Amino acid sequence: MAKLKPFPMPKWGIEMSEGTIAEWLVEENRPFDKGTLLTLIETDKITNEVEAEAPGRFVRIIAKAGETYPVGTLLAVLSDGGEASAAEIDAVVAAFKPADSSFEPDTPVPSPAPVPAPAATPAPPPVPDDVAISPAARARAADAGVDVTGISGSGRGGRITAQDVDQAARAPTEPHLAGPYPLSPGGTAFASPMARRLATLHAVALDEITGTGPRGRIRKADVLARLADAAPPPPAPGEITVTPMSSMRRTIARRLTEAKSTIPHFYVRRRVRADRLLALRAAVQGQRPSVNDYLVKACALALREVPRLNIQVHGTEIHRFASADIAVAVATERGLVTPIVTAADQRSLADISATMAALAQRARAGTLKLEEFTGGSFSLSNLGGFGVEQFDAIINPPQGAILAVGTARPEPIDDDGAIRIVPVLHLSLSCDHRAIDGADAGRFMVALAALIEQPELL
């Protein structure tokens, strides 16, 4: 008889309340091995890959791809590999009780079908007092009739755990060869592991792709570009295509609506000359930090000088931070993500540049860790790369302020009595008036302007 257990929506992080099934990667009743990718689940900010922790099969897939479900919702019924009748599967579905907890793969669901009483078996020898074993393992050993004297514990200091007892209670199985691993089309092509995985999932021939990586290696971006080229043509003029918001887009809409309607915004604007910063950057040999990296450093040092803006607002409490944790807006295909450069005031420009590049890459790939995009004491949004001259940004709660930066464009300025035309940046600071006064915002902009116009201070 097959051992059945539920496969519910897992919970990653305290704030996660729902997830979207982006894609099922295995078919119903198709056996899979340990480590097989089962599904992609999209949360507010990232997409998580769920791997099989043991061989098995989905005897029934309930959740539909593209749909969003609360944490704890039954997504599928999982078997240890054996066949199951429709009545047995229906009984598991009927007996399932949703709960806001992560999936426990080692907790079997009792079989709903009545079973005859087992034959009497000799009781296992009592567990000696000098054996290191957890209370849960001791109880499982008594229930399963397992002799723990021959078990080698995998816990700390050789302690026997509940998993060790479960493993000893399982009947031994003979290994079997499943054949060669299925390669993606063009399996001999020089490609990265992620590119091969994407090519296999989407049936893309790697030998038809020209790699842009070192020595012509095919990268993830090359496969994604081929998929974009193969996408269906845009709708004809006058045709309307309706697509539901993704989980991330709905979260962005909810948070920004809440921020704009509940936070009293006020704005402080200033223009600063950027010619000296651009000249300093041009003189850097080797890998140059981006203009945004300089701005992250400038904001961090300005927050150190004016700490009243380095805050979060939680109801009637103001949380003040000892270090400047700068959240930087990054545009992705699925929406806006704000990875955080922690302790930016204590980092060098080279460190900020390398950290920001890695965070932006993971943000676009949807592989950021929860702690890499939650929190932060200040936000920076730079649309200068899109030619935007000036804009006002919405505060990212619970932070107290966000700086919006436009493109550097030539404008006349007063340079010690002489009129010069130099690149000028337009800055707009959005502040939460519940915790920040205009004078504090003004002092921050003075400090920030001095750092940008005298970039050697960075």
Q: What is the DSSP string of 387-421?
A: T-----PPP-TTBSEEEEE---EEEEEEETTEEEE
- Token pair listed for 91: 């009984």
Q: How far apart are CA 425 and CA 10, in angstroms?
A: 45
> pLDDT (tens digit, 9 = 90+) per residue, 351-409?
999 999 999 999 888 888 888 988 899 999 999 999 999 999 999 999 999 999 999 99
For residues 442 and 370, the model is more confident at 442
Percentage of the chain modeled with pLDDT above 90: 41
- In the predicted structure, residue 180 carries a pLDDT above the cut 60: no
Q: What are phi and psi of 254, to 5 degrees?
A: -65, -45
Prior bond to 307 cis, omega within 30? no
Query: Which two tokens mark 332?
Result: 């992705």
Number of H helices, E strands in the chain: 10, 18
Distance CA 356, CA 296 (A): 10
Q: Which of 34-43, 108-117, 309-318, 436-445 has the lowest mean pLDDT?
A: 108-117
Lowest mean pLDDT among 19-28, 44-53, 67-76: 44-53
Instruction: Determine the Cα–Cα distance for residues 386 and 27; give it in Å rounded to an integer.
Output: 43
What residue ranges define each of the domains in the chain, with the CATH number in brackets? Answer: 4-95 (2.40.50.100), 193-229 (4.10.320.10), 264-457 (3.30.559.10)
Q: How far apart are CA 310 and CA 401, in angstroms?
A: 8
Dig out the tokens for 21 from the structure: 């099934």
**379 compared with 94, residue with greater pLDDT:** 379
Q: What is the DSSP letter of 115?
A: -
CA 438 to chain centre: 36
Q: Is the pLDDT of residue 76 over 50?
A: yes
Does residue 265 have an active-site annotation?
Answer: no
The helix or strand, by DSSP H or E, that contains position 17, with its residue range, turns out to be none
Point out the catalytic residue in the list 176, 265, 426, 433.
Answer: 433
Q: Give the predicted TM-score (pTM) of the model.
A: 0.58
207-230 pLDDT tens trace: 888 899 888 889 888 988 888 877
Which tens digit of pLDDT belongs to each residue from 47-63?
Answer: 778 888 889 989 899 99
Distance of CA 90 to the CA centre of its chain: 34
Residue type, 387: G
Q: Distance (Å, rounded) from C-alpha 96 to C-alpha 93?
A: 5
Q: Chain-wide mean pLDDT for the chain?
A: 86
